[in-house]
Amino acid sequence: MTKSTLSYLAFDPATRQLRLDPREPAFFLNPYEAYGFLHEASNAFFWEEFGFWCFGGFGDVNRLLRDRRFGRQNPAGIPDSRGVGQDRTHLKAFDGIEANSMLELEPPVHTRLRTLVNRAFVSRQVERLRPRVEALANELIDRFEPGKAVDLLPAFASPLPITIIAEMLGVPVEMGPRLLDWSHQMVAMYIHGRTRETEETANRAAGEFSDFLRGYVTERRKKPGDDLLSLLISAQEDGQKLSEDELVSSAILLLNAGHEATVHQTGNAVHSILAQGGDPRRFFTSPEATAATVEECLRFDAPLHMFMRYAYEKIQIAPGIVVRPGQTIGLLLGMANHDPHAFAEPQTFRPERTDQKNVSFGAGIHFCIGAPLARLELQVSLRTLFERHPQLHLAEQPRFRDTYHFHGLERLAVVFS
């Protein structure tokens, strides 16, 4: 292995093998330094710690996300992006949810599920939620005490999206903290180096989450309401409806995805904007400026950095890189968003850039179904926050969590004048 100028990674240009511990603080605190080195060395590399080929060029990631020769459904067994092969009897509840999750499935089942869920989701007309999101953002900000430090993650970034998605689904908002606990425990299954304890906790959370939702599904079948759960129950495509297992998995996916990434992106965005100095209101002077700022936040410091897919046939992806059926590849979304071949000065925060694009929501058939809602929540919450408190400043230097896949802050303590 050849040492780079970065002491914590080693790269062999001949074999394109990378040795880099994703739990190395120097990396997870600032992955963009390593990405910069890799963009110069090779956008494709075999990451030893993960055991598969990874791709970080914007063009490659965008192309491979759309390539139907790859997919999320593990051809070796249950759709499980963490791999199979060992005893999984202790993961029965977790695997049961994953087996019916559209994120882990491919056509034709994925097409049917996504069509049904998307029809119900879009029918809510996300744009009409704008006044509610703004009112909620103001309510949360009203609770802050001037001159006193507050951690924006639990006080603002987290309660806003979980409240909105709970209201949309028609489940009690006061259950928000419990829903968050279940979600965090399940999402921990995706983190590199998980333990048996992590798995058992995730399985228990999956079972409790599922039981909770089944109770509400039963209630809504008897007494439908104007909520997403009722719409999911009634949604049909060519006479077909969601089964109860599919409905529960879809609701859990929407709840998890409906807040997890948005919380991290809100924290990352506030951090990015404050790092620019000056009056933050300059980024929110119009709806167009606000939208452009959110897109740059999504590009500049995305919440999801790796998305894995399985090969469905023998494929030569690039010269010297061949994958076989069942093998995994890693698509590095955060790295792709900083590709100097796709963006001018990728390390610079520039909402006005003319080369604005990102793969933070994915691409192809697995493009994030909640992207319109996430964008609206970010636009409204960030604009409201900085318009209300343009003098907002950090109370302490924030630190990113030791969770490479999900790139987000541990704390975001700020002070309002």
DSSP for 24-56 reads -HHHHT-HHHHHHHHHHH-SEEEETTTTEEEE-
- Same domain assignment for residues 17 and 120: no
- Is 272 part of any domain? yes
- Same domain assignment for residues 32 and 124: no
- Same domain assignment for residues 35 and 82: no
CA separation (Å) from 329 to 53, 163, 226, 335, 350?
5, 35, 41, 15, 31
Residue whose structure tokens are 């309401």: 225
How confident is the model over 247-268, as a mean pLDDT? 86
Inter-residue contact 217 to 248 (CB < 8 Å): yes
Q: How many domains does the structure of the chain reveal? A: 2
- Is 408 part of any domain? yes
- Is 316 part of any domain? no
- Same domain assignment for residues 31 and 125: no
- Same domain assignment for residues 104 and 2: no
Inter-residue contact 314 to 44 (CB < 8 Å): no
How confident is the model over 6-28, as a mean pLDDT? 96
Q: What is the pLDDT of residues 203-256, one digit of tens each?
A: 999 999 999 999 989 999 999 988 888 888 887 666 778 888 988 888 888 887
- Same domain assignment for residues 45 and 89: no
- Same domain assignment for residues 101 and 225: yes
Most confident range (mean pLDDT) of 106-115, 268-277, 362-371 is 268-277
CA separation (Å) from 124 to 130, 366, 412?
12, 20, 32
Share of the chain above pLDDT 90, in %: 62
Read off the CATH number of the domain in which 207 is found: 1.10.630.10
- Same domain assignment for residues 256 and 156: yes
3-state secondary structure of 397: coil
- Same domain assignment for residues 18 and 122: no
Burial (CB count within 10 angstroms: exposed 0-12, middle 13-18, buried 19+), residue 334: buried
Q: What is the pLDDT of residues 46-104, one digit of tens each?
A: 999 999 999 999 999 999 999 999 998 876 654 444 444 467 889 999 988 887 877 77
Q: What is the pLDDT of residues 126-142, one digit of tens each?
A: 888 999 999 999 999 99
The CA distance from 275 to 294, in Å, is 15
Nearest 5°: the CA angle 270, 273, 278 is: 130
Domain that holds residue 91: 77-300+358-415
- Is 43 part of any domain? yes
